[in-house]
Structure 1
Amino acid sequence: MRHIERFQLRPDRARRELAASEEHLARIAIPYALSVHEDYVTQVKDDLVGISLPLALQGRRWNAENMHAILLDSLGQPSLPDLTTFEALRRLRNSLIHSGGVVDAYVEAGINMLSPDALTRWEQVAGRPPGDSIKSGTVDVGAGEVMLAFSAARHLSLVLHDATLTAFPASFWLNDCVDDFLRGHRETLRSGRLLRAKLEHYAEQYYEDFAFTWSELFGAAQRAGVPANQLRRRGER
């Protein structure tokens, strides 16, 4: 609507606009949640290839439908999590973006493939059965499906992250720790004050399971381009 019309709404029209706003927000938020997760999955794949671990394609194409199974197989996970919720949401998302929300056999198959546990979880989180999202012939999503999308994306991201903790070598996480620290502490780098103490604290706070020594952090920081004199305490050589 034109800007001025926002101030000329009758109560009945205002109610209609507000009633439709939840669906509009859901049509934006669900693709956002899934795309952020898919970007993380691609990053994990790039990291895996970067440290020369083989990608277990096993005749499968790398795409959004197979990416979780391929990565978790590559990371040596003995069993896969339930992927049906993410897959059903992905098909709803694709319909919204590419088909104007029209429900076709592919979207229906995504809903029908939901496992019993996924069906129960969907209804608990979304507040309605998954079939309600497609029964009108067009995709109908709201706040419940938004929460479900963020929940499913977060769960699968944590599963992948936990798998990388054991599959990736400690040297990868050492470099990751230092790189993360340097990206977030540019002011500390420019001033050079308390750099060692802050780096040690950062490693203890976010990478405590690896128990990196100062010698390891010092070497990784030097390889990342930090001058040695900035990493030493006053009086150290």
Structure 2
Amino acid sequence: MPRLVKYPHYRDHEQQRIQTNDTMMGLLAGSRLASQTLSLTEGSQLVLSQIFPGVPHIERFNLRTDRAREILDDAENLLGILAVPQVLALHEDLLREMLTLLAADDPQWSNIDDNAKAANVHAKLSSATGVAFTPESIEIFHLVRVARNAHIHSGGRANQTLLNRISSVSPAAFAVWEEITGTAFPPYELGQPVALGLSELIGILAVTKRLAEEANVALQAALSRVGWADIIVTDWSRFAKAGNPGQKLRQVVGVARRYYAPLCLTEDELAAAMTRAGHKVEKKQ
């Protein structure tokens, strides 16, 4: 397990990933529970609003129970179509923010975040930090990204771009995919429906977590110590407590130890950052 720096955007990213996963699993479990409940009405010719009139908005899903169960049983793929793009978007946002931090820290990278997007953000970060992302994770990321694009641009059916991507993926990457998800990635043919279900969500959550951690470790060394110290002071200022200058410095040191321990920033470096931010500093003698 790598030692990570949990700066604000990274903490927010982790929380959003957890929320996306919990929401997906909760809705999936809910659809299964609803389907099981409706099995008790098997053979009924009534529509849902007649059986469950007290359920809010039930008229918007006003089907006979057999048809409603068919839809609920297919919920995994429908929910994945929403959740997988969300995970990809969160990852893209995290790495774009890393590029923005680098652009603000070092003039040589002043334009590194221009036109950064999912298709190129890893390459941009590699050029700026030297990070060597795990090749199989990168392959899987772009495989799922292109599968996502098929839903955006091709009505959810396999296009030639996806087929080309599948043919370029290494056996090692496919083996990692199967190890993570327990299933093989489908060998689509042109025009076939593209699945974005639970397997795809599990797979993309795993690889983006690994890629994010690798990027985090690289960013620790690529960003200057002055830049990190300034980030820590800004982080502290979001929830700073009242106190004298000496107490405030101790608070900043506490934030550094809690979220930024791998950087091993000194009290002098943090005090200098507080001074740059306009805070009065008193160090303990």
**Counterpart position of 1:211:** 264
Residues 155 and 35 of structure 1: CA distance in aligned 2, closer, same or farther (over 3 Å):
same
- Secondary structure of the corresponding residue to residue 131 of structure 1: coil
CA contact (8 A) 2:151 2:157 kept: yes
Superposed CA offset, 1:197-228 (max 9, x none): 332221112222333232322221232243x2
Residues 8 and 209 of structure 1: CA distance in aligned 2, closer, same or farther (over 3 Å):
closer
How many residue pairs get matched? Answer: 224
Q: Distance in 1 between matches of 2:58 and 2:78?
A: 21
What amino acid maps onto 1:65 in structure 2?
A: A
Can you give the 5+ residue segments of structure 1 that lack an aligned partner in the other structure?
none
Q: In the alignment, does 2:254 pair up with 1:201? A: yes
Q: Displacement of 1:117 after TM fit?
A: 2.1
- The share of aligned pairs that are identical, in percent, is 29
**Counterpart position of 1:161:** 216
Q: Displacement of 1:11 after TM fit?
A: 4.0
Q: In the alignment, does 2:192 pair up with 1:171? A: no
**Counterpart position of 2:276:** 223
Among candidates 163, 169, 185, match of residue 130 of structure 1: 185
Q: Distance in 2 between matches of 1:162 and 1:145?
A: 26
Residues 115 and 6 of structure 1: CA distance in aligned 2, closer, same or farther (over 3 Å):
same
Q: Displacement of 1:174 after TM fit?
A: 1.1
Superposed CA offset, 1:79-111 (max 9, x none): 442111011111111111232212111011222
What amino acid maps onto 1:215 in structure 2?
A: D
Q: Distance in 2 between matches of 1:67 and 1:7?
A: 41
Q: Distance in 1 between matches of 2:271 and 2:227?
A: 15
User: Please, which moves more after superposition, 200-209 or 143-152?
Assistant: 200-209
Residues 88 and 116 of structure 1: CA distance in aligned 2, closer, same or farther (over 3 Å):
same
Q: Distance in 2 between matches of 1:13 and 1:95?
A: 28
Q: Distance in 2 between matches of 1:105 and 1:135?
A: 7
- Secondary structure of the corresponding residue to residue 169 of structure 2: coil
- Secondary structure of the corresponding residue to residue 39 of structure 1: helix
CA contact (8 A) 2:96 2:116 kept: no
Query: How high is the TM-score relative to the length of structure 1?
Result: 0.80
What amino acid maps onto 1:102 in structure 2?
A: R
Can you give the 5+ residue segments of structure 2 that lack an aligned partner in the other structure?
1-47, 50-56
Query: How high is the TM-score relative to the length of structure 2?
Result: 0.68
CA contact (8 A) 2:233 2:274 kept: yes
CA contact (8 A) 2:163 2:188 kept: no
**Counterpart position of 2:84:** 30
